[in-house]
A and B are shown apart, each in its own frame.
Chain A
C-alpha cells in the first residue's frame, strides 16, 4: 500500500500575482486594440501590431501560464515546485520586460530600452527553465506530460534568445538574413514550441481530469510530441539554410501532432463521466474548435498559391489573430475559471472545511459576467477576423469594442476572485449541508 504525501501546492503569493498582472495586460491589450484599427491594412511588421502581439503573448498568455503552471506543475509531476523564490524573480523580470518591450514597440524606439527589455525577458525565461527542469528532476515518475512541459520551456528560452538577437540587430545589424525571416522563425518557435507544446502537456492532464476520464493509452500523445517537435526542427533548419518549398510539409507534421492531441481529448470526452459542461469547459472546447482557422490558414500562407500580396498580407494577419486572440485567448478565458476559483478557494477555505459550511469554487465568481464575457469575446473575435479580411476599419473597431467589453468583464471577475475572503461562516451542522 502506497501512502500519499501531503499537498505540494505552492504559496498563493507565487501564483495569484500572475493572474492579476495578466488580467491587467488583457485589459491594456484590448484598449491598445481600439487605437490600432488602422494597423491592420498592410504588413504584419508594424509597430502597433508588434506591440499588440507582445502584450498578448507575454503580458497576457505567458504571464497567466507561468502562474497557472506553478500551481499545476506539482499536480502533473507529483512533486513540490523547485523554488518559489525563483518564481518571484521570474515574475518581476517578465513583468518589467513586457512593459518595456510594449513601450519600445509602440513608440518604435528600438534602442537601449528594447535591449534591456529583451535581456529581462531572456533572464525570466532562463529562471523559468531552471525552475521547471529542476522540478521535473524531482518527479517520482516521468510522463509524456512532463516531456511536453519541459520541452516547451526550452522552446520558450530559444524564442527569447532569437528575440534578443533581433532586438540587437535593429541597432547593430549583424544577422546574415532579412529581419522578417527571423521574425517568422521567432513567431513559430513561440507558437508551436512554447504555446502549443505547453497547452498539450497541461491540457492532456487537466481536461480529462475535469471530464472525469482516465485515458491510459498515451500513444497518441507520444506521436503528437514527436510530430510537433520534428516539424518545428525541420522548419527551422530549412528556413535558415535551405529555403525549400517544403514548408507545407513541416506544417502538416505540426498539424498532425495537433490532430492527435485533439483525438486524445475526443477519447477522453467519450470515456468521461461528466456530461454536463460548465461555462469554463464550454469556452475551452470553443478554443479547440477555433483551431480550425489557423490549421487551414497555415497551409494557405505557406503554400505558393500565387495569391495577390494584399490578400496574402490579410491572411497572415488573420493567421496571427486566430492563434493569439483566437485559440490561446479563448483557452485562457475558459481555463481561468476552472483553475483560479479552485486556487482561491483552497487558500481561503482550507482551514475551515469540515468545521464550517463553505461555498464551492464555482460559487466564488459571477456566472452571468462569465457568460457575457464569453459571448462578447466570440463576437469580438469574429468581427476582428471579418474586418481584417475585408479591410474594413469600422468592423475592426466594432470587434475591438466587443473585445474590450470581454476584457472588462474578465478583469472584474478575476479581481472579484482575487480579493475574496471568507465571511459569515456558519459552523457545521449535519442538517444544513449538501449530502
Chain B
C-alpha cells in the first residue's frame, strides 16, 4: 500500500518509509509463517535424528492425536480474533463426549445431535453474556468452565457413571474408521479447517470478526452487528468443542469425564503460537493448524527421545510459547514504531 502513496515532501521521510516497509514485510512474514518455519525445521531435524519419525504410521499417529485439539483450537481462533477468549472449551469438550456416548444408544444421529445442540447452546450463552452485558469474556467463560463441569458431574452421577458407545455401531466407526489409514477425525478436522479458512478470509462474517477484534467501537460505528457476530463466534467455539468431544468419545468408545481439563490452555497456546494476537484483530486459521501440529510434533519427538519423560513436553511447550510471544511482541512493536 505504502508504495502507491505519493512521494513525501522530504527525502528523509521517504527513506524512513522505504526502510520500514521492508522491515514491516519481514516482520509480518515471520509473524505469519514463523510457526510453519519452526514446524518444518523440527520435522526435518527429527526425520534425520529418529528412524521412526518420518514414517507414515507416525504421521498418522500425530495427526489423530492432534485432530481433537485442532477442532477446538479452530473455534478458539475465531473467538480470539474477535478480541475475546473462551476458557470453557475444555469442559465443553468433556461434556460433548459424555453426551455423545450417552446418546449413542439411540443411534448415530442422536449421538452427534445431542452434544452439538447442548454445546452450541452453551456457546450461545457465553456469547450473549459477553456481548450483551459487556462483562469480561475471561470471567464469563471462567464461570461456564465451572458450571459446565458441574453439569457434566451431574449427568454422570458425580463422575461415577461411564456411558459406553455400543460396540460396532456407526458412531464408533466415525471415531475409529480410516481412509488410507487416516482416521475420520483427521479428515473432519482438515475439512473444518478448510471451511474455517474460507469463512474467515472470504465472508463478510469473517471480515467482521477481524474488524471487531481490531476496534470494537470502530466496528460498531461502521454499522456492524457487533453483538450478533460475537454470539456467532462463541457459538462456533462451543459447537466445535462439543464436536471434538463427540469424536473423541467415538474414538475411545466411551464418554470420559476427566478429559479436557486444561484443554482450553492448550488451545489458546496453539492459537497464539500460530501467530494470532491475543488482543484480537489479527490472526489466521492456517497458523492455528501449524500451532496445533507444532505442539503435537513436540510431544511426539519427546516420546521418541524416550529417556525424557512426558513432563518435558509441557516444559518445552511453555518455553516455546514464551519465545513465540516475545518475538511477536517485538515484531509488532517495530511495526508500530515506524
B is bound to A: no
Chain A interfacial positions (CB closer than 8 Å to B)? none
Chain B interfacial positions (CB closer than 8 Å to A)? none
